[in-house]
Amino acid sequence: MAERVIVTGAGRGLGLCLARALSARGDLVAGTVRDPSGAGDLAALPGVTVEQLDLADSASVAPAVAAMADRLGGVDLIINSAAVNAMSVPDGRATLSVRTMQADPMLDIFRVDVVGALLVVRGALDHLVASPRGRVVNVTSWLGSIGGYATDSAVNYGYRSAKAALNMATRALAAELQPDGIPAVAVNPGWMRTAMGGGDHADLAPEDSAAGIIAIADALDMDGTGRFLDWDGAERPY
């Protein structure tokens, strides 16, 4: 049966691949972008509506998501894919080292990657509860793993700490929403050939990661809630 899905950051990268794959199988997708005028690829997809959302504008997020959820006629699945890293915020390079650390870029990353994702869930929560199969997939990163700390990448305080915080927020969501029967998982999408990833050097086509993440969402039930998974379903240490 067609599902009603909110995908954040759906104008490009992994989010666009997720929207494309969901559209191709007949799901209804509210795809969020910051600038709808540049979202022609997304707008062309059947069953997809383009929704304006800036996660950096915290006060606007929950009301905007509630309104798009109403337009969608309900929400069965949220995929929080939108995020920024150090390179996407003003003075973000300062968060790469404690020797250059500044508060504002650190907080800019947290506002989008952690607070924004939670506010999206808050905005759609009534619809998730009403859905026969409401669930949440938060796209995090292996760089946010504490148990499996990756020593082959820069220390990158802002992005790593934000993704670790989103991992914990996902674990907390799984606990708080357990009585509502809403599972939540954190998913590492892998090193992808996107703007944020490694361009042509990266391991993985975002289309393949999107297919894996959708398979995880399809299989997700209360037995699987609270886990941290790779895009191919393998479990990761938090």
Ligand X SMILES: NC(=O)c1ccc[n+]([C@@H]2O[C@H](COP(=O)([O-])OP(=O)(O)OC[C@H]3O[C@@H](n4cnc5c(N)ncnc54)[C@H](OP(=O)(O)O)[C@@H]3O)[C@@H](O)[C@H]2O)c1
Among 157, 191, 231, 238, binds ligand X (CB under 6 A): 191
Please choose, out of 98-106, 124-132, 191-199, 222-230, the segment that lies near ligand X by the rule CB under 6 A: 191-199
Beta carbons within 10 angstroms of residue 25's beta carbon? 11
| Amino acid letter, 45 | L
Residue 103 burial (CB < 10 Å; 0-12/13-18/19+)?
Answer: exposed
Least CB distance to ligand X at residue 112 (A): 5
Please choose, out of 7-15, 18-26, 93-101, 146-154, the segment that lies near ligand X by the rule CB under 6 A: 7-15
Nearer to ligand X, 156 or 225 (CB): 156
Residue nearest to ligand X (CB): 13
Residue 233 burial (CB < 10 Å; 0-12/13-18/19+)?
Answer: middle
Residues 42-81 binding ligand X (CB under 6 A) are: 53-56, 81
| Amino acid letter, 84 | V
Residues 13-42 binding ligand X (CB under 6 A) are: 13-15, 33-35
Nearer to ligand X, 116 or 134 (CB): 116
Nearer to ligand X, 34 or 133 (CB): 34
List the 228-230 sheet strands across, edge first: 48-52, 28-33, 4-7, 77-80, 135-139, 184-188, 228-230
Q: Is 139 helix (H, G, I), strand (E, B) or coil?
A: strand
Contacts of 129 (CB under 8 A, 6+ apart): 180, 182
Structure tokens at 145: 């793993």
Nearer to ligand X, 62 or 133 (CB): 62
- Is residue 92 within the footprint of ligand X (CB under 6 A)? no
Least CB distance to ligand X at residue 82 (A): 4
Cα four-point dihedral sign 16, 19, 48, 217: negative
Least CB distance to ligand X at residue 137 (A): 11
On whether the CB atoms of residues 230 and 145 are closer than 8 A, the answer is no
- Is residue 134 within the footprint of ligand X (CB under 6 A)? no
Among 106, 121, 139, 177, binds ligand X (CB under 6 A): 139
Least CB distance to ligand X at residue 181 (A): 26
**Site residues for ligand X per CB under 6 A:** 9, 11-15, 33-35, 53-56, 81-84, 112, 139, 141, 189, 191-192, 194-197, 202
